[in-house]
Structure 1
Amino acid sequence: MTTKMDPLDIAVPRNQTALMQHLQLLAGREGHRIWCGGVIGREKLPAFVAKMAARYPITRNTRQRTYDRTRGIAVTHFVAFPVGNEVHWWLLSDGGVGGLADMKSEDARVARDAMSADGHITFRDYVLLYATKREWREVESAKAGKRKGFYKQTSTWTWKLRGDVIRELRRSIEDCCEGLEYGSEGGNGQKPWGLRGLLASMRARPLFSAVRSQVLALHRDALELWKPRQALWCARHPALAQQYGQHAGALTPINELLATRMPKMRRIRVFDEQPITLRDLLPANSTPSAAPKVEAMQ
């Protein structure tokens, strides 16, 4: 006899990047494109999760889900993540019977398709979508006897910064340049500020492929806007200009950023070995050490 899992024992992703990668894999590779979601207070979590567990098989393990899939029964996943006193949640489903794609389901009327233009999954500054990207490929050239490189258009599920966030970041870049706020990336007890601090904060974001491309484009904008202002900044700070010479007031070149400061996203572990659970998110049980990490964001 199989012991039924308590829905409050559902594991919570270990940090924000793990959460985003988990949602990306569930909606993309595993085909759980139909979803609904929202935000609730931590104190409402027990009753809400119990309701979801009564409606959908969210407590099934991997073996049980495989069995359900062979019988045409929906496979569903409940994903939650705390931000402050609130919990962001998503219910993702495939097309099986009893899932969100089943019109007899209680939540079918509010369910959305993550691939549709008006149904993308969102989280804070980010949106998950099926996007086209340019990817560098290399092949062995038989005639030349060496490897040949080229860009190929490919489509994949990826996270992207929302359009309004990009516009806000671009305005911030323009304001820093107009105010000659060269700034600092921080470190050694100093806080990041100005243009360099802003660019450093962008590189600290989860660099999924589309986010990485957007951040690079913003860096290129910054380089172009700052270039005619570098001399003005040096004139305003003659001592620093003399100390650092041609590097005074300079921004890091794109090639150096790509080589040393903007690694490509790699697959990471979603849950800790002793995972945080929904139960740990309840107000009475929550402690500073129990909450998963949310990376700093603009």
Structure 2
Amino acid sequence: MATKFDPMELHVPRNRTALMQQLQLLVGKGNHRRWCGGSIDSQKLPAFVEKMAARYPITRSTRGRVYDRKCGQAVVHFIAFPMGNKVAWWLLSDEGWGGLADGQSPDAHVARDAMAAEGHITFGDYVLLYATKQEPKEVTGTNGAKPRRFLGTTSTWTWKLRTEIVRELRAGIERCCERLEYGADGGAGRKPWGVRGMLSSLRERPQFSGIRSQVLALHKEAEELWKVRRPLWCARHPTLVQQYRDTAGALIPVDEILKTRLPKMRRLSVYGDEPATLRRLAFDAADALAAASDGEAR
């Protein structure tokens, strides 16, 4: 008889970017479009996970999931991630019986379709979309002709900054430019600020293809806005102009950003060599709560 796998031993993604990648892969490549999710107090996590494990086959091995899929049964994944004293969670399912697409499922009435406009998965500033993007393509030449290269369009699942976040970032860049806040990139213990700081922070975001395109677009907008104000900034800072000459008040060109400052996303190890578990997550939260209570008592 097979040993029952403890659902509290399910692994937790190592960081936010790894979490986002895992959600992207499950929804896209895995076709787990049906989902539900939310957040829960850390101390309530064990009971909640046990309830989900009783309802859905979230502890199945890879081999077991292959078998389930052949039998028409749903493949279901449970993912959780710490968010302060809360735990964000997602339950993702394909179209088999017993999953979220099954009308008899206990949670079918709250399940969403990640493809639908009202059902997109969101996480912080980001939204997971089936979006169109441009990518380089090449057509082999005939009769000795050189290959022809061009930008083609393709559709894929990717993360993007939510519309309201892009709006806020654009407004912040415009405000910095209007105030002639050239600022600094930050680093070495210094705080980023001004238009340079905003652009530097953008480059620190996870560079999924959708986000990367938005970040480049915001850099181009900033470049155009600052080009008009740079002479005014230089007039106010003659000492810096004398010191830095042609580079005084200059932003890093978008072409250089693209080549050297904005690497493409690579496949990450979702859980790492020594992955944390849901049990560890709940234990750490309980430990932190006990320490806070002890501090208040003193």
Give TM-score scaled by structure 2 length: 0.94
Partner of 1:296: none
Matches of 2:183 and 2:285, distance apart in 1:
42
Q: Does 1:74 align with 2:74?
A: yes
Structure 1: how far apart are the matches of 2:158 and 2:10? Answer: 25
* Contact 1:279–1:285 (8 Å) recurs in 2: no
Q: In the alignment, does 2:276 pair up with 1:279?
A: no
Query: Match for residue 22 of structure 1?
Result: 22
- 1:256 aligned partner: 256
Cα deviation code 1:6-42 (max 9, x no counterpart): 1110001111111111000000011111000001111
Corresponding position of 1:148:
148
| CA distance in structure 2 between the partners assigned to 1:144 and 1:241 by the alignment | 53
Q: Is the 8 A contact 1:39 1:87 kept in 2?
A: yes
In structure 2, C-alpha distance between the alignment counterparts of 1:143 and 1:199, rounded to whole Å = 47
**How far apart are residue 134 of structure 1 and its match?**
1.2
Matched residues in 1 for 2:134 and 2:44: separation? 44
- The structural deviation recorded for 1:85 is 1.1
Percent of aligned pairs with the same amino acid: 64
Total equivalences in the alignment? 288
Letter in 1 for 2:239: A
- Matched residue, 1:86: 86
- State the alpha-carbon separation in 2 of the partners of residues 59 and 173 from structure 1: 46
Aligned mates of 1:268, 1:18 — CA distance in 2: 6
Aligned to 2:133: 133
**8 A contact 2:177–2:229 mirrored in 1:** yes
Matched, 1:245 2:245: yes
Distance in 2, matches of 1:264 and 1:68, equals: 35
RMSD value over aligned CA atoms?
A: 1.4
User: Structure 1: how far apart are the matches of 2:26 and 2:252?
Assistant: 37
Q: CA deviation at 1:264?
A: 1.1
Are the equivalent residues in 1 in contact too, given 2:43–2:285 (CA < 8 A)? no
1:9 maps to which residue?
9
Return the alpha-carbon distance in structure 2 between the equivalents of residues 167 and 239 of structure 1: 35
Partner of 1:62: 62
Counterpart in 2 of 1:102? 102
- Identify if the C-alpha distance between structure 1 residues 286 and 217 changes in structure 2 by more than 3 Å, giving closer, same or farther: farther
C-alpha separation in 1, matches of 2:168 and 2:287:
34
Describe the shift of the 1:143–1:257 C-alpha distance in structure 2 as closer, same or farther (beyond 3 A).
farther
**What is the one-letter code of the residue matched to 1:111?**
A
1:214-262: CA deviation from partner (whole Å, max 9, x where unpaired): 0001011100111111111111111101111111000011110011000
Seen in structure 2, the aligned counterparts of structure 1 residues 224 and 285 have a Cα distance that, compared at 3 Å, is closer
> Per-residue deviation at 1:86?
1.1
Deviation of 1:286 after TM superposition, in Å, equals 6.8
**Contact 2:85–2:285, Cα closer than 8 Å, also in 1:** no
**In 2, are the aligned partners of 1:280 and 1:286 still within 8 Å (CA)?**
no
Aligned partners of 2:275, 2:178: CA distance in 1, in Å? 47
Rounded to whole Å, the distance in 2 between the matches of 1:88 and 1:215 is 26
Alpha carbons of structure 1 residues 51 and 151: separation in structure 2 relative to 1, 3 Å = same
